[in-house]
Amino acid sequence: MMFTPAGFSQAQKFLLTQARPLERARYRFHFENAPAAEFRNELATFQNADGGFGRALEPDFRLPASSAIATAMGFQYLREAGVSARDPMVLAAVRWTQAAFDHTLGRWPAVPPLVNDWPHAPWWTWSAPDKPGFTANPGAEFVAHLWRYREVTDAGFLSELTARAEELVAALPAYPEMHDLICIIRLAETPAVPATLRNRAARRVRRAGPAIVARDPQAWAQYGVKPLLLAPRADSLLTSRLEEVIGANLDYEIGRQGADGAWTPNWNWGGLFPEHWPQAELEWKGVLTLQTLLTLRSFGRLLPVEHEAVGQTYSLACG
């Protein structure tokens, strides 16, 4: 099934009229040859003075203050826009990331206690940690980003994190939690990561991905491990391993476009903060619509393909 020009036009209209300015800039960057500076400058509105990202960059929690999850997403976009290591945004984000690591816990807390004071999805409610230890989400992802920007990262800190990531990858269960696996995938797909760690992560991913992916299209209507969540691009690490179900998932996504031209999240806040969920849902629709267009283009499903790629998508946050 091919995605028609009419469907593309509807999605484009939604993005340019209803999505956040950030998604509009990302769309123009990827599909209209807009300069990366426009994308970068919109992203800058989500970066705090301390260098971390917040301000509902991750729409499921509205906390203005910086958090590890939002900062990991900020790094995704910095890389997507091709922002260099010496850019002030990157320098500030690296500084925050190094300072925010909790050496007592041995990890980055995903969100701070302050998240509870702001509207948020129930899964982002903060509670006191029960035990220390390095975690894949967002730890493995941060290792990938800091290796990408290694020239401005403290070498000793990066070495310590790499050792923790090696232990984490070695202990990855056969059926990992999906967000953890996505973060390991980012580690395996980052060329700057040392080959030994990257290759070991890739081997684990190739075993675990096919084991946890949802193959029944009926399951794709619920929040879960859709094939395209693990392999959103034709050159993704798991694309060849999931080839037999990716085609059906692409067809499914084409058929899921809404009347407004957008793709709607298949999750909600379960009635929590009902006055704030509609705004978060609208923001997610922009994120998901752009991601779907990028995925369809990567797999050659746009008809016709009218624009050349100007960047590389880096999928959704682990969280």
Domains of the chain listed by start with CATH number? 5-298 (1.50.10)
- The confidence score (pLDDT) of residue 311 equals 39
99 closest CA partner among 52, 159, 164: 52
Report whether 71 contacts 93 (CB < 8 A).
yes
Measured between alpha carbons, how far is 310 from 289 in angstroms, rounded to an integer?
A: 18
Q: Which residues contact 35 (CB under 8 A, 6 or more apart)?
A: 29
- The confidence score (pLDDT) of residue 204 equals 98
CA–CA distances in Å: residue 156 to residues 85, 166, 198, 199 = 18, 16, 19, 22
Q: Tell me which amino acid residue 256 is.
A: R
pLDDT in tens, 213-229: 999 999 999 999 999 99
- The confidence score (pLDDT) of residue 18 equals 98
pTM: 0.95
Q: In 3-state terms, what secondary structure has residue 161? A: helix
Measured between alpha carbons, how far is 268 from 283 in angstroms, rounded to an integer?
A: 13
pLDDT in tens, 192-202: 999 999 999 99
- The confidence score (pLDDT) of residue 34 equals 98
Measured between alpha carbons, how far is 120 from 127 in angstroms, rounded to an integer?
A: 14
Residues of the chain with pLDDT under 50: 305-317, 319
